Amino acid sequence: LGLGAGPALAAAPNPKFKLKPGAEGKLCIDCHGGQLQKTLEKPFVHTPVKARACTGCHNPHAADHGKLLARAGDEACASCHANVVPAKPVSSHPVIKEKGCVSCHDPHASSVKNVLVKPEAELCAGCHKPVVEAAAKAKFRHRPVTEGCGACHDPHGSAVAPGILKAAEPALCLGCHKTS
């Protein structure tokens, strides 16, 4: 998802829109340059934004969806990130279905890895405040808690375990706690 700042990748023109070679992001920047330039200065820029491949998500002429999105919000994300949410989840993260990708991710760029809108702990605390506060106040913390929620949980859903865990118990625990 998010990559560090650096030179933009060359964008191939989208033949669907019959743009001249090299026009892909240049035309967009002509009008959206000020705000887009600030976006491109953030440390984690979404790959298609870095490549100036605006028409991968947006239709430059007209669209049935807000912000000239070529597809409805999460469908635009799924066109590249289809395997992020398990097809047959054992457990799902409700925020994915209820609020969609942009409730946690900025589709353009962020100051936070994985183009998250906030740091992981702060983001999770938005919905799971009692758990995050209790962990922060605890005298003794389980090491994965100090590493962040993503150490044990897959925020998009789990194909293998309840509670959006990355692995079923006890296998999850045995990944760190060896029995011999």
How far is Cα 135 from Cα 68, in angstroms, rounded to an integer? 42
| N-term to C-term CA, the chain | 38
Q: What is the pLDDT of residues 30-61, one digit of tens each?
A: 888 787 888 889 999 999 988 888 888 888 88
- Spatial contact of 13 and 19, defined as CB atoms under 8 Å apart: yes
Which contiguous run of DSSP H or E holds residue 45? strand 44-46
Q: What is the pLDDT of residues 117-156, one digit of tens each?
A: 999 989 999 999 999 899 889 999 998 888 889 999 999 9
Please state, as a whole number, how many other Cβ atoms lie within 10 Å of the Cβ of residue 111: 14
